[in-house]
């Protein structure tokens, strides 16, 4: 039987949300469910319901930040695997199919992929953003110095949550980097799929632009906390092959 995949879409006042949902509905390997978590939006919620009634599970909550919205979606999810898509980004049509096949082939419990970059109009401006890592080991080693993982490229087996827990809701901007570090320090591997399977949208209203000073302060604190521990882990040659 084909494993099931839940897709969680955190949403907050985002005019691009329909493009995100449509990209998940267009998957060659359809997800078992799409959970849209409205994190206290004051506009654009009308783009979701009733237009997608019967196609997505729509949940509204008081504003708590991305980590809170993700955790709500994860708690509600029922799939064997969980993927995350920001409401201003989109999946390539074979994203779930290709990534799930990779994870099954290599017995991976967690994986991320390469990604492309599009502008506000949806035009691709970089077909393969950033370096192409040789494998998961090279990518995980980079976590000691930077965050090389785009959260919307991640797919996690739900066993990860039992081992690592959920996202840290006290972190408003860098809950993703914190979680990848916790995965690796828990002894799990994050495998790398070199194919760009997600379109990451760069635009002036995105959180990483608007909130950049606060984001960088939070990120620098986490990097100081996790960096030496991750570097030491790989210096000892502890991380080996895939895990499942």
Q: Which CATH fold would you assign to the domain 5-235?
A: Spore Coat Polysaccharide Biosynthesis Protein SpsA; Chain A (3.90.550)
Residue % of the chain over a pLDDT of 70: 93
What is the mean predicted confidence (pLDDT) over 220-233? 95
What is the mean predicted confidence (pLDDT) over 40-53? 97
CA gap 44, 33 in Å, rounded = 22
Is pLDDT above 60 for 238? no
CA gap 197, 115 in Å, rounded = 6
Count Cβ atoms below 10 Å from residue 57 Cβ, excluding itself: 16
* pTM of the shown model: 0.93
CA gap 111, 171 in Å, rounded = 22
pLDDT digits (tens, 9 = 90+) for 144-193: 999 999 999 999 999 999 999 999 999 999 999 999 999 999 999 999 99
CA gap 112, 138 in Å, rounded = 13
Residue recorded with tokens 């959260």: 151
Count Cβ atoms below 10 Å from residue 191 Cβ, excluding itself: 24
Q: Is the peptide bond between 50 and the residue preceding it cis, with omega within 30 degrees of 0?
A: yes
pLDDT digits (tens, 9 = 90+) for 61-115: 999 999 999 999 999 999 999 999 999 999 999 999 999 999 999 999 999 999 9
Task: Using alpha carbons, list the distances in angstroms from residue 185 to 3, 196, 220, 226, 230.
Answer: 27, 26, 18, 9, 7
Is pLDDT above 70 for 130? yes
pLDDT at residue 240, as a whole number? 52
Find the DSSP H helices in the chain.
17-25, 66-76, 95-106, 136-142, 159-164, 175-185, 207-210, 212-235
What is the mean predicted confidence (pLDDT) over 201-221? 78
């Amino acid at each position: 039987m084909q494993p099931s995949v839940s897709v969680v879409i955190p949403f907050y006042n985002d005019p691009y949300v329909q493009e995100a949902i449509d990209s998940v509905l267009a998957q060659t390997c359809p997800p078992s469910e799409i959970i849209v978590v409205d994190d206290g939006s004051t506009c654009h919620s009308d783009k979701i319901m009733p237009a997608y009634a019967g196609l997505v599970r729509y949940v509204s909550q008081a504003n708590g930040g991305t980590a809170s919205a993700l955790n709500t979606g994860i708690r509600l999810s029922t799939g064997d695997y969980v993927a995350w898509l920001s409401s201003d980004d989109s999946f390539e049509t074979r994203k779930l199919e290709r990534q799930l096949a990779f994870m099954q082939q290599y017995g991976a419990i967690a994986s991320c992929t390469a990604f492309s970059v599009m502008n506000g109009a949806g035009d691709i401006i970089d077909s393969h953003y950033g370096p192409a890592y040789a494998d998961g080991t090279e990518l995980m080693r980079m976590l000691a110095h930077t965050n090389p993982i785009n959260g919307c490229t991640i797919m996690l087996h739900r066993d990860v949550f039992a081992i690592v827990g959920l996202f840290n809701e006290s972190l408003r901007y860098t809950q993703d980097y914190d979680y990848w570090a916790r995965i690796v320090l828990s002894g799990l591997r994050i495998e790398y799929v070199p194919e760009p399977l997600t379109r990451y949208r760069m635009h002036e209203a995105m959180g990483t632009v608007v909130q950049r000073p606060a984001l960088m302060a939070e990120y620098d604190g986490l990097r100081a906390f996790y960096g030496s521990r991750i570097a030491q882990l790989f210096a000892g040659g502890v991380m080996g092959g895939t895990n499942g």
